[in-house]
Amino acid sequence: MTNQKRVALTDRGESLLQISLAINARKELRSILETIVTHTRSLLGCADSSIVLWDRRQGVFKHGASTNIGAEVSRRVRREGGATRWVVDHREPVLVPDTRRDPFIANPMIPEGGVMAYTGVPIAQGDEVLGVLYALYATTHKATPDDLWLLTQAAAMAAIAIQNSRLLHSLEEINNFKSAMIRMLVHDLNNILQSLMGGIEILRHCNRDADRVDLERIDVSMMRMRRLVEGILRYERMTSVEEIARGPVDLNAVAEKAAKVFAEAAAGKSHRLVLALSTEPCTAYGDRLLLEEAAFNLVSNAVNYTSPGGTITLRTSATEDGYVFEVADTGSGLEAEDRERIFEPFVRLKKAGRVKGNGLGLHLVRTIVDRHAGTIVVSGTPGKGSTFTVTLPSR
């Protein structure tokens, strides 16, 4: 390989890297497509670059992005007979070195815009053509193999961006539908529960003492179902919010509040509740109410799953990785294979026994931590207790 070829390959790689880095820095599809055409024009030295999107369902072309004159041209692309439709139908590039001899009878906007030559390549994903990426020239120009290679690679990046945007849109629609169904289900279940609990209260005052045992069992089941419904509703509300409220959160204060809230429950099981707080400020950045809920869930689990007379320790600390909130107990501990399973929704381990729960608490904790770009790790030894360590970034 000659030095000239090595330099050419290096330049190509650097060119694509520039496009890739620019794309990764953006999220919106329009912004990504604009980045692609901007870099394509710069790298090829053409007068303009544009992307025309093909809507197969509606059978129309739509403007995707353009650096200059191509915006108006791409808005007036013909459905049939033009170069763009030919590229879509044949999945092959089109090369027109001189628009005065355009075999497709050029769009009138092309000569009006001063376009003397153009090259277009398909933007394809699998068997579907999503659009066409164009390089437009103000002078006659015969595309080189390097031109085609670069355009093809840029088109591949555009295809990925378009497909990702579609998947994201589909996911948003699914999530919106899921949220609507959950809200409707919870609303209906709450109405049913209200009616049943009202009926139970009436029967409790009317029936014989011998029947009250059955009524109490029904009442307990109703309360358990209500807790499940409330847990599902809390989870849905938390996951449906696109952006959580953010501000400084004192983890020492969160730990103190959790200890105060569960002091009575811990005393009821003869637990010793210990606060081991950092002497340094532990100010994370996030939603105080959500972080408090995560802390309450962890402490509640420790209180419930630790045998009477145990010790539950709440620790905070500042580390290089961020701020740490930790809940350690002297309970039965967890087997290694269970340390990930417990974060899955509706999972309850056999050792949970008669402890009331809906299997959503720890899943909610992990979701809250994830929304704060943090981590949660479980450690410990079976028979000697568990430690849940939450690490949150400072910003």
Domains along the chain with CATH numbers: 3-169 (3.30.450.40), 171-240 (1.10.287), 247-392 (3.30.565.10)
Q: How confident is the model at residue 323 (pLDDT cuts 50, 70, 90)?
A: very high
The three-state secondary structure class of 209 is: helix
- Distance CA(117)–CA(9), nearest Å, equals 26
- Distance CA(129)–CA(86), nearest Å, equals 11
Other CB atoms within a 10 A radius of the CB of residue 169 amount to 11
Strand partners, 273: 312
* Cβ-contact 162, 140 below 8 angstroms: no
Question: pLDDT tens digits for 211-236?
Answer: 666 667 676 667 767 766 776 776 66
- Distance CA(344)–CA(361), nearest Å, equals 10
- Distance CA(369)–CA(135), nearest Å, equals 46
Residue for token pair 């053409």: 46
- Distance CA(297)–CA(299), nearest Å, equals 6
Q: What is the pLDDT of residue 124?
A: 92
Please give the structure tokens belonging to residue 376. 């949660």
Question: pLDDT tens digits for 355-392?
Answer: 555 567 888 899 889 888 899 999 888 888 999 999 99
- Distance CA(177)–CA(163), nearest Å, equals 21
This prediction's pTM: 0.50
Q: What is the pLDDT of residue 170?
A: 73
Q: What is the pLDDT of residue 226?
A: 72
How far, CA to CA in Å, does 112 sit from each of 10, 25, 70, 72? Answer: 37, 35, 11, 11
244-248, 297-301, 327-331, 348-352: the lowest-pLDDT one = 348-352
Q: What is the DSSP letter of 307?
A: P
Q: Which of 172, 132, 146 lies closest to 33, judged by CA?
A: 132
Does residue 74 carry a pLDDT above 60?
Answer: no
How many alpha carbons lie under 13 Å from residue 271 in its C-beta half-sphere?
29
* Cβ-contact 79, 54 below 8 angstroms: no
Angle (CA) 223 226 232, round 5°: 145
Q: What is the mean pLDDT of the chain?
A: 81
Does residue 69 carry a pLDDT above 60?
Answer: no
Higher-confidence residue of 166 and 256: namely 256
Strand partners, 134: 50, 120
